[in-house]
Structure 1
């Protein structure tokens, strides 16, 4: 098991380090690869970054506990993601070219070429806080897998992951991240395929697995029990809210920066094709494996449900195969952790500091410090991977998605209105989670809606006051 795991990790490390051969030594190259990445690599990198340890650990743990109703997370997430991408991705890539910005916050804040430092620094601070939390969740996911399959101390996976991320991020920046993401995408889908086939065969195929699932009370119900509204209305609202979770991808700097690296905005359709084919296949398999884990590990009260996949791998597969699955889990955590670390680094060196940093060694020092902060957070983290990822995902989406949508449909909200919308959307999402309503309705849904309403209403009021001040 250790041998196959180390072989795969070594391949990732070699790929990441080799990216230094194409490094141009500039900030633009370090953070957005000089917008020179082909469509296939953009799509595979974005899907690897999106899937993350959340898919191997969080989604499978949630599906273990919830059952068939977890399918609405998959349907809603993919549908919402796709709908948002038809409006946003190409326009964001074009804005990246016109603004010459190297960070998501920079493009979002200076969309029309007018520098808005207050908005950019606020967006950079939000990015730093929430992506650090997100990065810590990825390191925790890797730690859990190594703890179960290799019996390493729970902290070991986070430390190993942090070291690998630092090594190839320092070598080639986002280009190293994208190259390794593409390789990690392949390993991730192979690992999940192995688990789906082997686990399914252990119950005699689909028919045998369904018979077992029917024995678990409520496991094959179409919707969870704690809906906000009774009946179909509650089910529709639940599914719709997870559609907003998918739409929330446009508020994730670490994912959207992948599309900012595309070498030609006219090739965005091809990049999206790579992304959605891979994403749909992987998410379907993850949900199926999550359901199979519930009938394989029959006592949900005596273990951490987010460890279901590595526990199954250890019991069902020979050591070499279990090592491949472990490498897949670890690949998922690293493919997102490196993206998160680089986005945090750009938030500090490009968005937050009074004077932008250009020297390569200073950019790399920022990356190393950010990785250390994420590791420290991971070592002291007490939350589940699922909860930490969803909180970060919804917070970022509620802050950024309303403004990005407004920019892409031609709205030009005043700076103060844009800033207020960002803070209100974020506040609504965090308040929704604090009140405990997120189990019935994903908190990003009210956050995005309220943030967008504030933008529309604020812009209208500002325009009205301007007309009034001019007079008849």
Structure 2
């Protein structure tokens, strides 16, 4: 068998396993609550790996290594910010959100939680939240399809559209039939696969090159600042450099508002288990981000040091190294880890989009149907979002990290402050939430499309801060006095957290 045949065989095995898991989830899903939230029955390890796998899309194995390959370790501030942000998210949001969403009439989506938690007229808040999900997740899913197309084009020489269509079809199929449980269980398998690949590839590469000293010598020969986390400070000046690093590390702010991640908090069995999940999540992130960074640095020395070794697209450095240092079948399994990163994120986002269409738009319009019809509508919602995202992904020149960056900032700025205020401030109002949410989303849309502003500061920073400010001011102005229902819910949440 040829190398490509071995690799394709490994990927076919991976695809079959994902479809099998999807079918297993299909057999266990019969209600809209099960399709959207798996009946709140996730174990901490499952929730942690699922959240991580759905979080770390194709950018972890393609976008991040590409950035490190181009600029060196200074680009690792993204990974540092994300790791810290994820830890804080599990610490301050997970237990409270798990407890409060069940208290708030068993809310199963983020928009429905806003609607049931906030005093005042909440219909506009839910509609705005659903709109934010549909707009930004469509871009996010599109980034996964772009990554899939690039994957098959660079690895097997396929046409970009063929690779994109294959991955989109498989992902949509197991998500369509398995819903949240299917996405979650496949995420666990994909998270383990990603972790294994990101440990094995750099270790084997270092051994093959001749050890750590030989590897670092190759790397520094090509880029003297490759290992310098503070590279560029002398050229830009301390102030501008610091602003740039804050902007990069600010990716961590986005975690508080990512629906496909925090919905895993809502699906935990108990609030108490968030602590165990947090530890598992942090360990996974440190190992995988470290592996991605190390792989990219090894690529700097390996490819740049020999003109005969061609790297046409820096975002494929992980893919090419895995093919060089492994048997074709093993390399195929490593390559499947890239697909795992792409597909796990896409599937989780499709489920959240589907829930926004059914739970927060269709049912909110007063058209509640029987459970079987709602389940069917949830599956149709998956198809609709996938088709729109595929149309956006037709542009194969789209940069993966740029698409993810835009969507990440949109959710972080629009939802993050609202989630925090809902969980920590009793006097937060529906008017304040709506004003803050719209402000955050609009700032990201405008700021991110003005090159001078975008290059100066990542748009999530002004969007997040202005959301907080506007939400606080408007809530103060619209607060009408004590809300017994809100006080009762906060007290109930406090009792649950204290008991745990």
How high is the TM-score relative to the length of structure 1?
A: 0.92
Aligned to 1:121: 127
Query: What is the CA–CA distance in structure 1 between the aligned matches of 2:15 and 2:188, rounded to whole Å?
Result: 14
Query: What is the CA–CA distance in structure 2 between the aligned matches of 1:107 and 1:60, rounded to whole Å?
Result: 37
1:309 and 2:325 are equivalent in the alignment? no
Distance 1:186-1:122 versus aligned 2 partners, 3 A rule: same
User: Which moved further from structure 2: 71-80 or 121-130?
Assistant: 71-80
Aligned to 1:5: 11
Query: What is the CA–CA distance in structure 1 between the aligned matches of 2:184 and 2:121, rounded to whole Å?
Result: 29
Asked whether the 8 Å contact 1:84–1:247 carries over to 2, the reply is no
User: Which moved further from structure 2: 185-194 or 119-128?
Assistant: 185-194
Aligned to 2:252: 246
Gaps spanning 5+ residues in structure 1: where?
A: 468-472
1:103 and 2:146 are equivalent in the alignment? no
Aligned to 2:462: 446
Aligned to 1:456: 472
The one of 429, 432, 437 equivalent to 2:447 is: 432
Pairwise CA RMSD of aligned residues? 2.4
1:376 and 2:391 are equivalent in the alignment? yes
The one of 307, 318, 331 equivalent to 1:322 is: 331
Which secondary structure does the structure 1 equivalent of 2:54 belong to?
A: helix
After TM superposition, give the deviation of residue 421 of structure 1 in Å: 1.0
After TM superposition, give the deviation of residue 276 of structure 1 in Å: 1.4
Aligned to 1:470: none
Query: What is the CA–CA distance in structure 2 between the aligned matches of 1:290 and 1:434, rounded to whole Å?
Result: 29
- Residues 190-210 of structure 1, C-alpha deviations (whole Å, 9 max, x = no match): 222221112222332222222
Distance 1:113-1:7 versus aligned 2 partners, 3 A rule: farther
Query: What is the CA–CA distance in structure 1 between the aligned matches of 2:164 and 2:66, rounded to whole Å?
Result: 19
Query: What is the CA–CA distance in structure 2 between the aligned matches of 1:276 and 1:79, rounded to whole Å?
Result: 9
Aligned to 1:416: 431
- Residues 114-172 of structure 1, C-alpha deviations (whole Å, 9 max, x = no match): 66111101110110011011001112112212222222211122211221122222222
Aligned to 1:166: 172
Query: What is the CA–CA distance in structure 2 between the aligned matches of 1:101 and 1:126, rounded to whole Å?
Result: 18
Query: What is the CA–CA distance in structure 2 between the aligned matches of 1:227 and 1:138, rounded to whole Å?
Result: 37
Which secondary structure does the structure 2 equivalent of 1:110 belong to?
A: helix
Listed as ranges, the matches of 1:323-338 within 5 Å are 323-338=332-347
Distance 1:219-1:408 versus aligned 2 partners, 3 A rule: same
Asked whether the 8 Å contact 1:228–1:441 carries over to 2, the reply is no
Asked whether the 8 Å contact 2:119–2:429 carries over to 1, the reply is no
Asked whether the 8 Å contact 2:90–2:274 carries over to 1, the reply is no
Distance 1:275-1:302 versus aligned 2 partners, 3 A rule: closer
The one of 68, 86, 94 equivalent to 2:91 is: 86
Aligned length: 464
- Residues 416-463 of structure 1, C-alpha deviations (whole Å, 9 max, x = no match): 222111111122223332233444533212211121111222233445
Query: What is the CA–CA distance in structure 2 between the aligned matches of 1:339 and 1:226, rounded to whole Å?
Result: 39
How high is the TM-score relative to the length of structure 2?
A: 0.87
1:186 and 2:192 are equivalent in the alignment? yes
User: Which moved further from structure 2: 34-43 or 421-430?
Assistant: 421-430
Aligned to 2:488: none
User: Which moved further from structure 2: 91-100 or 384-393?
Assistant: 91-100
Query: What is the CA–CA distance in structure 2 between the aligned matches of 1:228 and 1:262, rounded to whole Å?
Result: 48
After TM superposition, give the deviation of residue 235 of structure 1 in Å: 4.3
Query: What is the CA–CA distance in structure 1 between the aligned matches of 2:211 and 2:405, rounded to whole Å?
Result: 33
Which secondary structure does the structure 1 equivalent of 2:72 belong to?
A: helix
1:296 and 2:302 are equivalent in the alignment? yes
Query: What is the CA–CA distance in structure 2 between the aligned matches of 1:412 and 1:53, rounded to whole Å?
Result: 40
1:35 and 2:40 are equivalent in the alignment? yes
Listed as ranges, the matches of 1:10-409 within 5 Å are 10-23=16-29, 25-99=30-104, 100-112=106-118, 116-217=122-223, 218-223=225-230, 225=232, 230-231=237-238, 233-298=239-304, 303-353=312-362, 354=365, 355-356=367-368, 358=371, 359=373, 360-380=375-395, 382-409=397-424
Query: What is the CA–CA distance in structure 2 between the aligned matches of 1:209 and 1:440, rounded to whole Å?
Result: 34
User: Which moved further from structure 2: 448-457 or 377-386?
Assistant: 377-386
Query: What is the CA–CA distance in structure 2 between the aligned matches of 1:238 and 1:76, rounded to whole Å?
Result: 13
Query: What is the CA–CA distance in structure 1 between the aligned matches of 2:153 and 2:406, rounded to whole Å?
Result: 25
Query: What is the CA–CA distance in structure 2 between the aligned matches of 1:340 and 1:130, rounded to whole Å?
Result: 10
Query: What is the CA–CA distance in structure 1 between the aligned matches of 2:243 and 2:91, rounded to whole Å?
Result: 23
Query: What is the CA–CA distance in structure 1 between the aligned matches of 2:319 and 2:464, rounded to whole Å?
Result: 35
